Chains A and B, each alone.
Chain A
Amino acid sequence: MKRMMIIGILALTLFPSARLHARVKLVALPERARMVLSLNNPSATLVEEERVLPLQKGVNQVDFSWRGVNIDPNSIQVRVLNHPEEVQLLNTSYPPNENALVWAFSSPEAREERMRITYLLNGLTREIVYKAVAEPTEKNLTLRNYLRLRNDSGEDLAEAEIGIGYGAQFKKTIAHEEVMELLSERIENLPVKKVLTWDAGQQPWDPEYEKQTVGIPLSYVIKNDQASKLGTHTLLPGKARIFLKTKEIADDTSAKPGEGVAFTGEDWVALTPVGRELKMFIGQSRDVKVTQRKVKEDRTNLRRNLANQEVVWDTDEIYKIEIENFKKTAIDLVIVEHVAGYWKMVENSHPEQFKKKDAFTFEYHLNLPAESTGAKKTVVSYNLNRFNVQGNEPKDF
């Protein structure tokens, strides 16, 4: 099917009678003067196209029709740009069984008028793609942010100004069924924090009882703020692939080793507005070993009913977490602990690193020294009491 979008100025003088078969129509076809694709809204593609229409004095009929192009007919609007006070839209008519509408404009004189036609176009899909190359230290990375467009709209979009609300604006031609990837932003030397997260609610407590080495989830954390060379716009959802710079071994030992990259993992980036952190889970570390044990669990202040059933009690609990870092570099580790009900911390080996997240969750933010194993391992312990336990304590909210 031939695809087309037509805008025509109907020559009305050719209609001597109302009953004339009006499919015979003579129209002037003004070319597009400008086309803007706005991708600001994640669920819709807004097209604004401008055309210069030659208007006669009096009422002019402008016919806008399309075929093989997926336009939302209820979204079509027109704005008069040069003389909005003088050239007025009188009404819009919708013929039956056609992808078309007819605007009636009045013009006080014969003139050329620039019009902007706005509509929602289906079939132009977009993806955001992030590619990051981290320095070997994993403290900085170069982030490239691409806009990937796929045009299944049915229309060849020629010389379209494409904007997603941030970064570079493009002026490109994208044909029907063409896919195009455009570099929106490139940020060099962006600070990144590498963090391991061991969650007591998700990871096994004692690796000795596991058949395989326990991997600890590894994330890169980027803050969408100016200090991180970001903070100008919301980071949109998309897939991020992370690479790490490597030194390649030259074949000739006398030659200078070249630089290459190794792929370290990928994750879906969540929508991250300005001021918030973006956490990308990209893999697991097996060079850090965490062993957690409950070393004391006493029930105290036990209260029984007349049937001698235990009704309410308190507890006295001690936990010990041993952490070994086998890596040759220091690393940040977050330990996440969950405690249901009403509790209070009695004693805590790492008060500086302790952070209460909510009523039932607290964390230790630790920096593990390089090769802190054996006698050098990090040991965290805490003693807490629970009160008025009945066995139905809330653990989330």
Chain B
Amino acid sequence: MKSCSFFRRFVLAGALALCGVSAAQGRINVVTLPGRDSVQLTIYNSADLTLVKETRHLTFRKGLNRLEFSWANTLIDPTSVEFRALSHADEVEVLDVRFPPRVTNTLEWQIQSEWSGEVEVEIRFFTSGITWSADYVAEVNRPEKLMELAGSVRINNQSGEDYENAQVRLVVGTIRLVESISQLAQAGRPGGSKAVAEEAPMAMPAPPAGPSARGGRAAGALMMADGLAAAKPKEIIKQGLSEYFLYTVEGRDTIPTGWAKRMPSFKGSAVPITSYYKYERERWGDQVMRYYRFKNNRDSKLGNEPLPDGQVAAFRIVGDDKSYALVGRTAVKYIPINEEVDLELGNDQEVQVKPALMNWEKTDLRFDNEGNVKGWTVRETWQVEIQNSKEIEVVLDVRRSFSGDWSLKTEVAYDRVDASKIKFVRPLKAREKQVFTYAVTTHHGVNATR
């Protein structure tokens, strides 16, 4: 697509010998409007930031060339705009960049060229307003042993600018920004000129100014036309990049401003899962929380890439016709390769944990010289009734916390989570009920030895 942006003007001042004319005076120029040859969007999900890279072919004359680059109703960070010659790089030099007074959203490059003729140039800048997010659909089979996990990426363009036939790259990872791109964009020019920002506020480009105002679906038709070219879902190529992961969407895409687009990213079939339940009174009170536990690794038919954080909709197949029951919707954290994941699906009252203190004894009193109690020991016997009322097998993780100088006796297996917490992990068959006990002795006052 070679047409120039509707909003952005890229102006090559024609009369190069007129370099003596000031920028302010030179606002009336004879110009050519070179079109974009290519555009690439690198969209970050941890910040409202997209790196836009576009290439154009410009014709330079020998000597001083003035290039004006302006943008309006977009969210471009003026401090980020860069120019680079891709061809004849040794012969084309940027002398300076000027932001003309009393003009917002415009800059001008003074370029010295030793070459006369066509030069391929690259313009790079940051914009806000384009975001992407991941989402997942988890479809589990009736016994809740296997899952099909389908991931998608959704790109949302509210930047005010149409990016047509763009190569789209998505970055998974957390980057640091000391100033937000949208705030920098609002200033309209570097240096945080508040006066300018106040004069020309542009928090977000007004939607009517975008293509939607030109008949929203017109842009949609554009997308459709774009979609017609491909008869299979676009592959999303994933590659590691330092602490980040880069997803490159196959081919080119058009995402007009105001529109969002969702594309399949991956699908893992027959992913083994465990229907895992957790009980920890300190975290959730008496509620038992439900999870689908799986690993993002090759053995689990996944593990090709880290899974970006996003929303998950989990369904269980309940009918022979593959009809769904909604299990829950949840957010999932970023999942590195080989990580074990617990998809939290909320409280499930069909699995119950009832800990009951069955016996409490206070013994071994010790007195100080005044006759007051200075040490005692408490022995507690707890009975934990666990019940699975579901028609599927589950694994239940019961966590108990203690404090002080405590010791535990029990016939059942447990793991120590930390100095003050243990967990009993108990598989439960369908409709199974179990009862187990443990005794905890806590030494208080001078009876405590640790």
Contact = CB atoms under 8 A, between A and B. Distances in A.
B261 to A, nearest CB: 5
Contacts of B224: 10, 12, 15, 61, 93, 102, 104
Interface residues of B, number: 72
A91 B249 CA distance: 12
Given A38-B325, A41-B325, A97 B358 contact: no
Contacts of B257: 96
Nearest to B254: A18
B374 to A, nearest CB: 11
B230 A38 contact: no
A95 B217 contact: yes
Interface in B289-325: 311, 313, 315, 318, 322-325
Nearest to A361: B356
Contact of B262 (A17, A25, A75, A91): A91
A231 B329 CA distance: 28
Contacts, number: 202
Contacts of A15: 221, 224-225
A25 B214 contact: no
B373 A106 contact: no
Contacts of A342: 360-363
Which among A75, A90, A93 has the greatest number of chain B C-beta atoms within 10 A? A93
A38 B313 CA distance: 15
A185 B285 CA distance: 34
B260 A94 contact: yes
Contacts of B370: 305-307
Give the interface size bracket for A toward B: 35 or more
A74 interface: yes
A82 interface: no
A150 B225 CA distance: 43
Interface in A80-99: 88-98
B288 to A, nearest CB: 11
A296 interface: no
B349 A59 contact: no
A271 B273 CA distance: 27
Interface in A311-359: 311-312, 341-342, 356-359
Contacts of A61: 224, 227
B245 to A, nearest CB: 21
Given A41-B327, A90-B230, A341 B372 contact: no
Given A75-B313, A118-B324, A276 B220 contact: no
B228 to A, nearest CB: 5
B20 interface: no
Given A303-B371, A359-B360, A360-B360, A23 B262 contact: no
A390 interface: yes
B233 A22 contact: no
B134 to A, nearest CB: 13
Contacts of A75: 313, 329
A59 B227 contact: yes
Given A93-B223, A95-B259, A40 B233 contact: no
Given A271-B349, A388-B376, A38 B323 contact: yes
Nearest to A275: B389
A104 to B, nearest CB: 4
B137 A90 contact: no
Contacts of B216: 22-23, 95-98
B209 to A, nearest CB: 12
B324 A48 contact: yes
A91 B258 contact: no
Nearest to A104: B227
B376 A18 contact: no
B17 interface: no
A313 to B, nearest CB: 11
Interface string B367-390: 101111100100011000001011
Contacts of B373: 311-312, 390
Contacts of B225: 12, 15, 18
A15 B218 CA distance: 9
A90 B361 contact: no
A89 B264 contact: yes
Contact of B362 (A94, A165, A387): A387
B357 interface: yes
A36 interface: yes
A89 B223 contact: no
Given A22-B216, A120-B326, A90 B233 contact: yes
A23 B222 CA distance: 13
Interface in A231-287: 234, 271, 273-276
A19 interface: yes
A92 B156 CA distance: 12
Given A15-B224, A359-B358, A234 B215 contact: no
Q: Which 8 A-B pairs have the closest CB atoms?
A: A96-B258, A22-B217, A273-B389, A305-B371, A18-B222, A40-B325, A94-B260, A397-B357
Given A23-B215, A90-B230, 20 more contacts: A22-B220, A38-B326, A40-B318, A46-B326, A58-B231, A77-B137, A91-B261, A92-B263, A93-B220, A93-B262, A95-B217, A96-B259, A102-B224, A120-B326, A234-B389, A273-B390, A276-B352, A306-B371, A311-B371, A357-B356
8 contacts: A23-B217, A40-B318, A91-B234, A93-B224, A274-B431, A305-B367, A307-B371, A358-B357
Interface of B: 135, 137, 156, 207, 210, 212, 214-225, 227-234, 257-264, 311, 313, 315, 318, 322-329, 349-350, 352, 356-363, 365, 367, 369-373, 376, 380-381, 387, 389-390, 431, 433
Interface of A: 10, 12, 15, 17-23, 25, 36, 38, 40-41, 44, 46, 48, 58-59, 61, 74-75, 77, 79, 88-98, 102, 104, 106, 118, 120, 165, 234, 271, 273-276, 303-307, 311-312, 341-342, 356-360, 387-388, 390, 394, 397
